[in-house]
Amino acid sequence: MRILHLTTEFPWPEASGGLVRTASQLRLLASLPEVEAITVVCGAERPVPAMDRHALEAALGGPARVRVVPVFHPAHVFDFKRYLWRVAFLRAVRGVPYLAAKWDSRPLRRAVEGALGDGPTDLTYIDHLGMAQYLPEVRYLRPTCRVVLDQHNVESEFFAQFAARQRGPRRLMAEAEWRASARFERAMLREADGVIAISHADAERFHELAGVRAHVVPMVIEPDRVSRRPSGLAARNLCYVGNLRWHPNVAGLDWFCTVVWPMIRARVPDVTLEIAGVGLPVDARGRAVVPRAWRAPGITTVGFLDNLEPLYARSVAMVAPVIGGSGVRVKLLEGFRAGMPVVTTIDGALGLPIADGEEALVAPSAVGFVERVERLLYDDLLRERIREGGYAYLEKHHSPAHAQAMMRAALAAVPTRFASSPRPGGQRRAGRSRLSAVVPLLAPRATGRSPART
């Protein structure tokens, strides 16, 4: 099987939950003996050094088996203002929702077309909903190529949550964007030959949204099983690790630092917290801009760390306050892997079959969060029980063997496609029209080219 893998960001190094998921699924695909070759076409917000590209290819089986094609395109268009006009034009004139328009790129489209034209492609694996806008190219150039859509979240739910926070005209505009996003998501879920979800909760939502059956394929995360016996200052230090610009994380940290943290410090005055992660904005001098809410006494924001192990070694537990979002909180799984007892919110535990007091401590309220943190700080036996619960969870749900079995089942369920008639008005043209009705600009342009040979 020869696979074309389309993803939004270059997944090396794995500096955020989304990149961890993408890299894990790539390793999983590369580990299957039936996969002969993978071509990875990905966006890249900054130039990718050759050594990083070679490192990723080596990690996936070597350049003879995996070829990585990074193409410059910003993941955060608001940091690259010159790209905003195109997103605004597509939304205002063509009706393309933001989540698709932000990934519209002629260089990316040329890279996709080039990869499809290089040789036989049996399956296109679309990682992230936004990259599904290139599905029409796949259908046009490779009619027999099967397409799998792997979604990290129920994307339209983010827009619904955003709309709920707005007021007045902004809310009307946000609700219109939510509806456009839901239409696009529904159409892409139905157009794909197979759908992969990150959790059973997301799979159920995809069925409600589009009537499709999604296969749950977990990422591979194996526990390190390190021995942790914090003492001295480490026995009072907490840590947080996550993407520091993702709204559910930012909202969770704002709430934690302003509401929960003062109550924790009132009970345990010498407790400290270190906040680590990517995504902090920088000022004109290149210094990270830390939100005011996170500057409370006892809190230090360290930003991005190449190696998280020293942070874990000097911490007694991890806090993971999350508000909103969907999918799975990879930060919890990474905490389990590192042997860190975790305290999280109900939203933070969403999508994971875990129970309060077993794999993690799940707080239903601010007071509940305070109580659980205080218990972890003083109870050695509780910390050890939670640590072992996290290890056991990963061994059961995220082992290589389990993930391989789930991926094989998902790919086996994708039906074989047959070339449709190239006659005017035939089945293939009708299929393109259905896509064009949702995303007008994204249908293949009438260039007079013929479908590639298969």
Q: Cα torsion for 259, 156, 128, 275, to the nearest 10°? A: -10
Full set of structural domains in the chain with CATH: 2-219+401-442 (3.40.50.2000), 232-398 (3.40.50.2000)
Q: Is 135 exposed, middle or buried (0-12, 13-18, 19+ CB in 10 A)?
A: buried
Confidence (pLDDT) at 235: 83
What separation in angstroms does the CA of 377 have from each of 182, 317, 382? 44, 8, 9
**Residue 420 has what pLDDT?**
57
Copy the structure tokens of residue 207: 């069925």
14: left (phi over 0), alpha (psi -120 to 50) or beta: beta
**Residue type for 440, please?**
P
What is the pLDDT, as a whole number, of residue 437?
42
Whether residue 13 has a cis bond before it, omega within 30° of 0: yes
275 sits in which H/E element: strand 272-276
Helices assigned H by DSSP within 127-224: 135-141, 155-164, 168-191, 200-210
Report the pLDDT value the prediction gives residue 445, as an integer from 0 to 100: 41
- In Å, what is the CA distance from 60 to each residue of 32, 165, 307, 325, 328? 11, 42, 21, 30, 24
pLDDT at 442: 46
pLDDT tens-digit profile, the chain (454 residues)? 999 999 999 998 887 888 999 999 999 999 999 999 999 999 999 899 999 999 999 999 999 999 999 999 998 888 898 889 999 999 999 889 999 999 999 999 999 999 999 889 999 999 999 999 999 999 999 999 999 999 999 999 989 998 999 999 999 999 999 999 999 999 999 999 999 999 999 999 999 999 999 999 999 999 988 878 777 777 899 999 999 998 999 999 999 999 999 999 999 999 999 999 998 988 878 788 999 999 999 999 999 898 999 999 999 999 999 998 877 888 899 999 999 999 999 999 998 999 999 999 999 999 999 999 999 999 999 999 999 999 999 999 999 999 999 999 999 999 988 765 443 333 333 334 344 444 444 444 434 343 333 3
